[in-house]
Structure 1
């Protein structure tokens, strides 16, 4: 079989749930506070993947305004019962403090493209739910349990209860079927049935460098479940030299010819002592096999491999190709882009418009760190080294209106080159930054104070940034009418703070990845608009970014 290189879904694509329907494979991944919710990729060969739909795309299904950073859609589970697709997901409303608010929902669709139904509310007892379709037609709902009586809150195990699709609710008894191993933090359950055994795959150890996939089994769906002889079928926790770190939270799929694979999340830290995963948690794949003892083993595991044999041969050319996005009138926003929280995109952007038919127009709303309504449209950073560029047309009246180019992780961690104005109306360029990190394990938040650069009050401005190795970020600009040569502006920033390890809560509380895109704010409330004529994302092949075991 051909050899491919992990990850199969680079950049922020965590918590993969995989299903095969005939010859088609689908992977659903978490999107957290980014809208629309859930990414579903499709493949015919486990090598080449294409984003085909984000199913949670309207207010009735998902409204995340007010959700804190790294809340929103956690760990979807995508299944098919022979008739239709089922998608289970959590919309986390709060994860910090003395209580967790994690309502769970189910939507269905006759085809992967939809239409996807309005959601059925299931419960709020914990996150990472899954739905298992047993061979007798019954459906079982499994999710982790918070014990809210204890401080700090406790991961109390995996709870199982039957789901009645006709009644649209859980029915019958519920039972805590698995409390996990000594690694702790048991979550992300997936159930399977094979050779008379029920298998339970869970995620343990948190989402940082102790993460793992734990496998157990029972003859009865209610348990008791015995642990795998190795306990952890995928993990990098004891192998700091492995190319794929933070490996865990997986799902199992069989090919039509009987081979078995497990997809799982992983992270690739930048090449420095900081061990920061600027690309977020990515989806990787491992080949596995069922041994004579009826246990699943990962080939050459449990440490995940960088190179894997799969049925298909991957074409890497699209991954390294420059992407130039235009915003033609009447055309939808390119599928690579998402925005934050709001299910009412018409309030924050339009493609084209009455004045210019080929631009993205952002309507200024709240500041870039808002948890409610901000006009920020961005795409994932999927390479350690890349360049981004846009051309902005914006006439701010004062310092409360600003728009431009941002490299963004969350409200605590971003870099933002803006076109704004002094209080006297003089237009200027200003870099805004928020740089949270954890020296000695404590949150330290800082900004880099910079003097603005005065620019003419008329004319478009080209804004650009360059990131190398996930470590160094430099901004650039060029003024209309002064040639195309870009000039440096500001210092070289530490791009590695755009990572889970720095995102306001460290790696056990920050779960997304770095984005790059366009933003506009008008805290005057006058809805100033900024026009962006194009956006370019240019990957850079730097040998220093190549990861090998």
Structure 2
């Protein structure tokens, strides 16, 4: 075996709440997708070192229209039994306290790429469901329990377990409260494993911010009582100098006789804000005196770590993306709360993507936005758009987008005095700014570009490929595009505030080049 040094995170950009699974000689990691569709992104690897985007599980099985930001699809879990894959997920409809409207579902498939079954509704008592396939053949659902009566902001009060009957596709029998959590509180993300006659319960505690931690408890009986490991397996809460922060929400896998933990982490830019969102990292763990410990002897996240492989391997990271819209939309694209429909048309003008207009960037319903994850601190993204606006309410262009309250948008539109023009808008925590710069355009076809260098971003345009890029607007401080449960996205959109589906724009290409 060869120890291979790698750099975390292994899944950069918005890839939170990792759940890792091995089936045969393939490793899978499923991550949360929140309001972005298709949902439940899955990556594959044969060595735990290099990972590829394999598929996205949820397409038409969910209805997310109207769901608020930071809600929707939380913490999926994938497992494998009886020659089929199981996927559990939560659809969160409201997070307004004291309640949390969250519904847990189960779908199955013979292959990770589907076809996936219709969702089976399980319960709504709490989020982060996982399915445990017990050695005796029974199956049990675990989930966090939300108690609205608690006076604290976070009302997670522990972990419950209930048997699942696969024949009737329903939960049966008593609901068992198997874990109350520790003083770290905010207990969630439970996964159950069997090792050396013990049931090991892995949970996340401390919240998904800087106090995030991995807690382990064990019991000889699946229903408890569970003895808590006096030490946190993994946390950065007391390590402010670590480049990896907010570390927790973990799951386990074995490979070549070694055990590994895949976990959530962030890389705060300038020590302040995780503009890339919550990412996925990995480290080796070992069994010591009946407990899990990080193999490096610490209990903190490691930016540089080792994975054992069967041969010498080089870790490769390539975040570049290009779509010339020649055949079908590439699977890297995401949309908000709905899958692309007839409004994303590749047939009307071959070689172009024709986007039909949707609602504004602050809508929670019918946005027509195509976007990809920002995966690098330093990157450039560009597109060419052909658009002839008839009124100021019609817009098409390039956006940096965190959520409906935080975005930047440079766009072609119409001005009553100057005709076809280029403009720029910004929204910061719901406060809107329309920049006064109005650039007349000689053509209805224009190239748009954004350059991002850490916390700074600049927008550019040019009307022909032979021209030099010209900057529009100021140099932006982009730290406002960090926060919440997702990361920043970069994408293209068309908006018409006069009439639904009142206009369309043609995009020739979209490209993203990471430099970090």
TM-score category (smaller protein): over 0.9
1:342 aligns with 2:343: no
Structure 2 partner of 1:456: 441
Query: Which region of structure 1 is more displaced relative to structure 2, 192-201 or 524-533?
Result: 524-533
Q: Note closer, same or farther for the CA distance 1:524–1:407 as it changes in structure 2 (3 Å cut).
A: same
Count of residues in Structure 1 that have an aligned counterpart in Structure 2:
509
TM-superposed CA distance for 1:82, in Å, is: 4.2
2:157–2:185: 8 Å Cα contact kept in structure 1?
no
CA distance in 1, matches of 2:220, 2:141: 18
Structure 1 partner of 2:58: 56
Structure 2 partner of 1:545: none
Match of 1:360 among 340, 353, 360: 353
Structure 1 partner of 2:189: 188
Q: How does 1:136-147 map to 2 (within 5 A)?
A: 136-147=136-147
CA distance in 1, matches of 2:79, 2:210: 29
1:539 aligns with 2:511: no
1:474–1:493: 8 Å Cα contact kept in structure 2?
yes
Q: Secondary structure at the match of 2:102?
A: coil
Match of 1:325 among 323, 344, 348: 323
CA distance in 2, matches of 1:285, 1:82: 28
Q: TM-score, normalised by structure 1?
A: 0.90
CA RMSD of aligned residues (A): 1.6
2:104–2:123: 8 Å Cα contact kept in structure 1?
yes
Query: Which region of structure 1 is more displaced relative to structure 2, 472-481 or 32-41?
Result: 472-481
Q: Secondary structure at the match of 1:311?
A: strand
Structure 1 partner of 2:281: 284
Structure 2 partner of 1:546: none
Q: Note closer, same or farther for the CA distance 1:227–1:526 as it changes in structure 2 (3 Å cut).
A: closer
CA displacement 1:107-141 (0-9 Å, x = unmatched): 00111111111100000111001000011100010
CA distance in 1, matches of 2:192, 2:402: 33
CA displacement 1:334-364 (0-9 Å, x = unmatched): 1111110014x214312x222x201121111
CA displacement 1:422-459 (0-9 Å, x = unmatched): 246822111111112xxxxxxxx534441142323643
CA displacement 1:289-335 (0-9 Å, x = unmatched): 111x1111112231011112113466555516x4322101xx22111
Structure 2 partner of 1:506: none
Q: Secondary structure at the match of 2:233?
A: strand
CA distance in 2, matches of 1:135, 1:516: 45
1:164–1:171: 8 Å Cα contact kept in structure 2?
yes
TM-superposed CA distance for 1:98, in Å, is: 3.3
Can you give the 5+ residue segments of structure 2 that lack an aligned partner in the other structure? none
CA distance in 2, matches of 1:476, 1:208: 35
2:235–2:246: 8 Å Cα contact kept in structure 1?
yes
Match of 1:478 among 462, 465, 476: 462
Q: Secondary structure at the match of 1:310?
A: strand
CA distance in 2, matches of 1:9, 1:317: 11
2:418–2:440: 8 Å Cα contact kept in structure 1?
no
CA distance in 2, matches of 1:24, 1:93: 34
Q: Secondary structure at the match of 1:474?
A: strand
Match of 1:465 among 450, 455, 467: 450
TM-superposed CA distance for 1:76, in Å, is: 0.3
CA distance in 2, matches of 1:261, 1:387: 34
Q: Secondary structure at the match of 2:318?
A: helix
Can you give the 5+ residue segments of structure 1 that lack an aligned partner in the other structure? 437-444, 501-509, 542-549
2:359–2:500: 8 Å Cα contact kept in structure 1?
no
CA distance in 2, matches of 1:103, 1:271: 37
TM-superposed CA distance for 1:498, in Å, is: 1.0
2:50–2:316: 8 Å Cα contact kept in structure 1?
no
TM-superposed CA distance for 1:276, in Å, is: 0.2
2:265–2:280: 8 Å Cα contact kept in structure 1?
yes
CA distance in 1, matches of 2:314, 2:399: 30
CA distance in 1, matches of 2:168, 2:355: 43
* Structure ranking higher in strand proportion: 2
